[in-house]
Chain A
Amino acid sequence: MLIQQLVNGLTLGAVYTLIALSFSLVMGILGVLNLAIAELFMLGGYFGFAVLMAQLPLPLALIAGMAGAALVAAIVERIGYQPFRAAPVVTPMLSTLGFSIILQNVATNVWGSDPLQLTDEVLSGRFNIGPVSVSAIQLTVLGVTVLLVALLAFLVQRTSIGRALRAVAENRDVARLLGVPAGRITLIAFMLSGALAGAAGVLIGVHYAAITPYIGVEIGLKAIAVMVVGGTTRIWGALIAGPLMGVVEVMTVAYGGSQIRDFVVYGFMILILLLRPQGLLGGGRSDQGQRV
C-alpha cells in the first residue's frame, strides 16, 4: 500500500517537476513569475487531446502540446514581458495574470467547462512488480519526464543557447555587453518554459484520461509551491522538490483525506519562504527576495 502510494506520488511529482521547472526557468533567469504558465499547462493538455482524438499517436500529441504552449508563451513574452522589462517585477507578473485570465476564458469557450474525456485508452496494460502495480501510463509519464529533464539539462548546460541563458541569469546587463542578444534569450526562455508546461499538460491529461479548463488553477498554481520548495533562484531544485511534493500530496490524500492536501502543500511553501527562502536544498546564501 505504502509503496503503491509512493509510485502514485512520483507520477504526480513528475508532472509537478515539469511545471515547476517551467516556472523556475523564467523565475531563475529573469526573476519574473509568469502566472500564465498555469494556463499554458492546461492549454498543452487540450492541444494534446485534440491530436489524440484525431486518432494520432501519443508522441505526436506531446509534440503538439509542447509546440502549441511554446507558441502561446512566445506571445506572452512579447506582449506581457518585453514592454515591462524596466518596470517593477510585480508589473510583468500582473500582465501574465492578464494572459492567464484570457487563456482560461478562451479554453472554457472553445472546449466547454465540462471535463473533456478521452474515450479510447491511449495506453493500456499494467505491470506488476512484487506488490506494486504500475500502469503503462504511469511509466510513460515518468519516462517522458526523465527524458525531457535530460534534454533540458543538456540544452542549458552544454549548448551555446544554454550558456547565454545562464549568462543572462547571472547579470542581464553584463550579458548584453558581452554580446548576448538578451531579447532573443528571454524569448527562448519563455518558449522552453512553455514547452515544458505543455508537455506536463499532455501527461496529466493522459494520466487522468480527462481535462478541464480549471486544471491550471488546481494543479498548475500548486507548482509555484513546488518551485519555492526547490528554491526560486536555482532551476534544478525542482528535480527534488517535484517528486517530494507529489509524494507528500498523495500521502496526505491517502492518510489525511483529500481535502487537506492544498493546506499542506501551500503551508509547506510558506514555511520554506519564511525559513529557507533559498529553497529546501539551497546553499547557505540567504537570498531573501533580493532580486526584488
Chain B
Amino acid sequence: MSVYDAGLLSDIGILLLGALSVYIILATGQLSLGNAGFMGIGAYLTSWLTVVAGLPITAALIVAALVSGAIGVAVGFPALRLKGIYLAMATLGFGEMVRSFFQNFSAMGGSEGFHGMHHVSTGYIWTWAAIVLVLIMLIEASPIWLEIRAVRDDETAAGLVGLNPTEIKVGAFGCGAAVAAIAGGLFAHHHVYIEPGNFSFERSIDFVLAVILGGSTVAPGALAGAVILVVLPEYLRFLADWRFAAFGALLIGMLLVRRQGLLDRALLRFAWPRSRA
C-alpha cells in the first residue's frame, strides 16, 4: 500500500468516525451541524494530553472521549429542548463558538495552530473506527436502540410507554460528542498539526454529507458515505476543481430520489439475505 493510499484510508477512517457521531444523534431525530466543535475539543485535548502531559495516545483518546461526552451531555441538556431547525442553528452556533475559542486559546497556539504530536498509523485509526462501528451495530440490536427509534418516531407516545425522551436524546448527543472527539484526536495525530480552521462549519457539513449520502438509517451508511466522499474525487480527477459542486449536486439528487441515502435496511438485507435480524 502506497503512502498515498494509506493517507486516503486514514481520511476515510476519520471521516467515518465523524459521520458516525452525526449518525448516533440523528438516530434520535436530531440533526447536529456542530459536531466539528466536539471534534475540535477532542483534537486539542488529545494533543495536549500526549504532547504536554505525556499520556499514551490510547489513554488520551479515551480521556478526550469522556470529557467531550460530558460536555455533550452538559450542552445537550438545555439544547435538546429545541427541535429541528432550531437545534440545527444552536449546534451550528456551538461549533463556531468552539472554533472561535481555540482561535483565542493562546496556550494551545491560538490561530497559529499546535503541533508536536506523533504520527499514528492507518491501522491504528482503523482499529478505532472499526471498534466504534461494530459497537454501534451491536447496539442497534439492543433494547436501547428500539427506545431510540421510538423516541425519534413519536416522542409523546414513547413517553407514554415509559421511555424518557430527554434522557435518550441527551444520552445519544453525549455519545455523538464522544465519538466526534475520537475522530478529532485521531485527526490531530494523523496530520500532526492542528489549527482552529480544521474544525469549522465545513467540517460539520462533511460529516452530515457522509451520513445523508451513505445512508442515514443504518450505521454502515456512514461507512459508505465516508468512502464516497474520499474516494470519488480520486476517480473523478477530471472534476478536480468541481468536486464540491459534484457533492452538493449528489446531496440534492440523493434527497430527491432516495432520501434515506445509498444504504438502507432493505438493501443490506438484499445483499446479505442470511443476516436478517
Question: What DSSP secondary structure best describes chain B's contact surface?
Answer: helix
Q: At the interface, yes or no: A104 with Cβ under 8 Å from chain B?
A: yes
Q: Quick check: B89 and A228 within 8 Å, CB to CB? A: yes
Q: A270-B93, A270-B97 are in contact. Are A90 and B241 (CB under 8 A)?
A: no
The stretch of B11-19, B99-107, B129-137 in contact with A is B99-107
Segment 78-119 of A: residues with Cβ below 8 Å from B: 79-80, 83-84, 87-91, 93-95, 97-102, 104-106, 108-109
Contact of B245 among A87, A106, A262 (CB under 8 A): A106
Q: A91-B255, A263-B101 are in contact. Are A99 and B248 (CB under 8 A)?
A: yes
Who on chain B is nearest to A84 by CB? B255
Q: At the interface, yes or no: B86 with Cβ under 8 Å from chain A?
A: yes
Segment 260-277 of A: residues with Cβ below 8 Å from B: 260-263, 266-267, 269-270, 273-274, 277
Q: Quick check: A95 and B255 within 8 Å, CB to CB? A: yes
Q: Quick check: A97 and B81 within 8 Å, CB to CB? A: no
Considering only CB atoms and an 8 Å cut-off, how many residues of chain A contact the other chain?
Answer: 50
Q: Quick check: B31 and A90 within 8 Å, CB to CB? A: yes
Q: Quick check: B244 and A266 within 8 Å, CB to CB? A: no
Extra contacts besides A95-B256, A288-B86 (13): CB < 8 Å: A90-B31, A91-B259, A99-B248, A102-B244, A104-B244, A105-B245, A109-B245, A217-B202, A262-B96, A269-B90, A273-B90, A289-B83, A289-B84
Q: A217-B201, A217-B202, A259-B110 are in contact. Are A90 and B97 (CB under 8 A)?
A: no
Q: Quick check: A87 and B259 within 8 Å, CB to CB? A: yes
Q: A33-B88, A94-B208, A289-B86 are in contact. Are A274 and B78 (CB under 8 A)?
A: yes
Segment 236-292 of A: residues with Cβ below 8 Å from B: 257, 259-263, 266-267, 269-270, 273-274, 277, 288-289, 291-292
Q: At the interface, yes or no: A224 with Cβ under 8 Å from chain B?
A: yes
Considering only CB atoms and an 8 Å cut-off, how many residues of chain B contact the other chain?
Answer: 46
Q: At the interface, yes or no: A67 with Cβ under 8 Å from chain B?
A: no
* Distance between Cα atoms of A95 and B253 in the complex (Å): 9
* Distance between Cα atoms of A108 and B242 in the complex (Å): 9
Who on chain B is nearest to A269 by CB? B93
Q: At the interface, yes or no: A221 with Cβ under 8 Å from chain B?
A: yes
Chain B contact residues, CB within 8 Å of chain A: 31, 78-79, 81-90, 92-94, 96-97, 99-101, 103-104, 110-111, 200-202, 205, 208-209, 212, 241-245, 247-252, 255-256, 259
Q: Quick check: B96 and A99 within 8 Å, CB to CB? A: no
Q: Which 6 A-B pairs have the closest CB atoms?
A: A292-B84, A101-B248, A102-B248, A266-B93, A98-B251, A105-B244
Q: A89-B85, A93-B88, A109-B242 are in contact. Are A263 and B248 (CB under 8 A)?
A: no
Who on chain A is nearest to B93 by CB? A266
Q: Quick check: A262 and B100 within 8 Å, CB to CB? A: yes
